[in-house]
Amino acid sequence: VSRFQIIESTLREGEQFANAFFDLPKKIEIAKALDDFGVDYIELTSPAASEQSRLDCEAICKLGLKAKILTHIRCHMDDAKIAVQTGVDGVDVVIGTSSYLMEHSHGKDMTYITNTAIEVINFVKSHNIEIRFSSEDSFRSNLVDLLSIYSTVDKIGVNRVGIADTVGCANPRQVYDLIRTLRGVVSCDIETHFHNDTGCAIANAYCALEAGATHIDTSVLGIGERNGITPLGGLMARMIVADREYVMGKYKLHKLKAIEDLVAEAVEVNIPFNNYITGFCAFTHKAGIHAKAILNNPSTYEIINPADFGMTRYVHFASRLTGWNAIKSRAAQLNIEMTDAQYKVCTAKIKALADIRPIAVDDADSIISAFYRSIKLGKE
Ligand code: HCA
Ligand code: CU
């Protein structure tokens, strides 16, 4: 699982998030930030969605970013004709193949879908830009149908086929099995797209890569339809543990926080407290046992080095769970030095107060300072 590419869909899937409204200046700001971060592709809303969506797509194509620009369309010639005129580097085509969508959404059968796919793919290819063909709701589609259409489009020569867990129903093992099977059928790249309804979006992306997928769709903070898709930051967390050198070499990880802040502000949400990497407590260590070990060697209780992302760890000391090593470390920050025996007595005082009520950093600091003054007075 070392090589993988990111198709960053904040400006497509992310625009489908309940709170999202991006005007062109905001889209440009986000696109530039993602480009600077180093994502491989930036996917944009279909130019067929609205007049302004088309203008925005054209404007972003003209920015001259390093990332390739994609737009995302229905498998339909009307959309394809508009898409190839925008200046994009590639088109992501999608059509629903599950019985749910065939019956209740577009009402087309597999023969019709296959014929339309062939027409759209050949048309996009004739414009010398990349083409990806994907099925929507892949995990509730008939496997024989899926493999047959993917094999057909692979022979025509698409750049990628896509698997999408549109409803977030798939689990990691199902993902592994489907991608592994598909890997044996097509020779092109395999893109994957995972919704997070049951909390599997990152694990599914990882399993897809293990099984031979090459591209992962993400959005900043995971924003998208319903509760969204694989988050960019969470995927980085997963992948840096798998292959630090590749991830560090390819992406400017210290820019992650700023991109998340930018998008969070644009869609008016807070960064979740427990967010991967950037959540306020993502690198906070609290229990005395943890604090002691972390102060000795951070690898004891940290699988990710916060510094890789420009973040810092925090040893929590103002609580009933604290220990004297954490208090000693805090005292050092306050330029206070005592004996180990004295730190232990001081720590007992802090824990006693914290057993009665929640205490703030100031409370713990006051106890440390007061205790230090009293022992100095006692000595003098
Ligand atoms: C949707 C479409 C999609 C497409 C994914 C893809 C999905 O909004 O329903 O093109 O791979 O989740 O199926 O986002
Ligand atoms: Cu989606």
The ipTM value here is: 0.98
State the CB neighbour count (10 A cutoff) for residue 188: 19
What are the CA-CA distances from residue 222 to residues 213, 217, 266 (Å)?
20, 10, 14
Query: Is the distance from the beta carbon of residue 220 to the nearest atom of ligand 1 less than 6 Å?
Result: no
102-125 confidence digits (pLDDT tens): 777 777 888 989 999 999 999 999
Q: Sort 102 into a burial class: Cβ within 10 Å, 0-12 / 13-18 / 19+.
A: buried
Ligand 1 probe mutation, 11, 13, 137, 214, most atoms within 8 A of CB: 13
Is residue 271 within 8 A of residue 281, CB to CB? The reply is no
Mean pLDDT score, 160-173: 98
Q: Residue 126 in 3-state DSSP?
A: coil
In degrees and rounded to multiples of 5, residue 171 shows phi and psi of -110, 165
317-326 confidence digits (pLDDT tens): 999 999 999 9
Please state, in angstroms and rounded to a whole number, the distance separating the CA atoms of residues 147 and 181: 9
310-355 confidence digits (pLDDT tens): 999 999 999 999 999 999 999 999 999 999 999 999 999 999 999 9
What is the atom index within ligand 1 of the atom nearest the CA of 12?
Answer: 14
Please state, in angstroms and rounded to a whole number, the distance separating the CA atoms of residues 256 and 264: 12
Q: How far is CA 226 from the centre of its chain?
A: 16
% of residues, the chain, pLDDT over 90: 93
In one-letter notation, the amino acid at residue 149 is: I
75-92 confidence digits (pLDDT tens): 999 999 999 999 999 999
Query: Is the distance from the beta carbon of residue 164 to the nearest atom of ligand 1 less than 6 Å?
Result: yes
Flag whether pLDDT at 146 surpasses 90. yes
Q: Sort 161 into a burial class: Cβ within 10 Å, 0-12 / 13-18 / 19+.
A: buried
Please state, in angstroms and rounded to a whole number, the distance separating the CA atoms of residues 56 and 69: 12
Is residue 294 within 8 A of residue 260, CB to CB? The reply is no
Is residue 10 within 8 A of residue 267, CB to CB? The reply is no
Mean pLDDT score, 268-274: 97
User: What was the pLDDT predicted at 104?
Assistant: 77
End-to-end alpha carbon distance in the chain: 65
Ligand 1 probe mutation, 193, 204, 217, most atoms within 8 A of CB: 193
Dist. CA 226 → ligand 1 center (Å): 12
26-62 confidence digits (pLDDT tens): 999 999 999 999 999 999 999 999 999 999 999 999 9
Mean pLDDT score, 226-245: 98
Q: How confident is the model at residue 96 (pLDDT cuts 50, 70, 90)?
A: confident
Is residue 175 within 8 A of residue 204, CB to CB? The reply is yes
Is residue 285 within 8 A of residue 299, CB to CB? The reply is no
User: What was the pLDDT predicted at 2?
Assistant: 64
3 state SS for 62-121: CCCCCCEEEEEEECCHHHHHHHCCCCCCEEEEEEECEHHHHHHCCCCCHHHHHHHHHHHH
State the CB neighbour count (10 A cutoff) for residue 232: 28
- Active-site amino acid positions: 290
Q: How confident is the model at residue 380 (pLDDT cuts 50, 70, 90)?
A: very low
Query: Is the distance from the beta carbon of residue 15 to the nearest atom of ligand 1 less than 6 Å?
Result: no
The DSSP output letter for 225 is S
What is the atom index within ligand 1 of the atom nearest the CA of 134?
Answer: 11
Q: Residue 134 in 3-state DSSP?
A: strand
Q: What's the whole-number average pLDDT of the chain?
A: 96
Query: Is the distance from the beta carbon of residue 30 to the nearest atom of ligand 1 less than 6 Å?
Result: no
Ligand 1 probe mutation, 79, 135, 136, most atoms within 8 A of CB: 136
State the CB neighbour count (10 A cutoff) for residue 256: 24
Q: How far is CA 253 from the centre of its chain?
A: 12
Dist. CA 112 → ligand 2 center (Å): 23
Question: Tokens at residue 126, please?
Answer: 């004739």
Q: How confident is the model at residue 136 (pLDDT cuts 50, 70, 90)?
A: very high
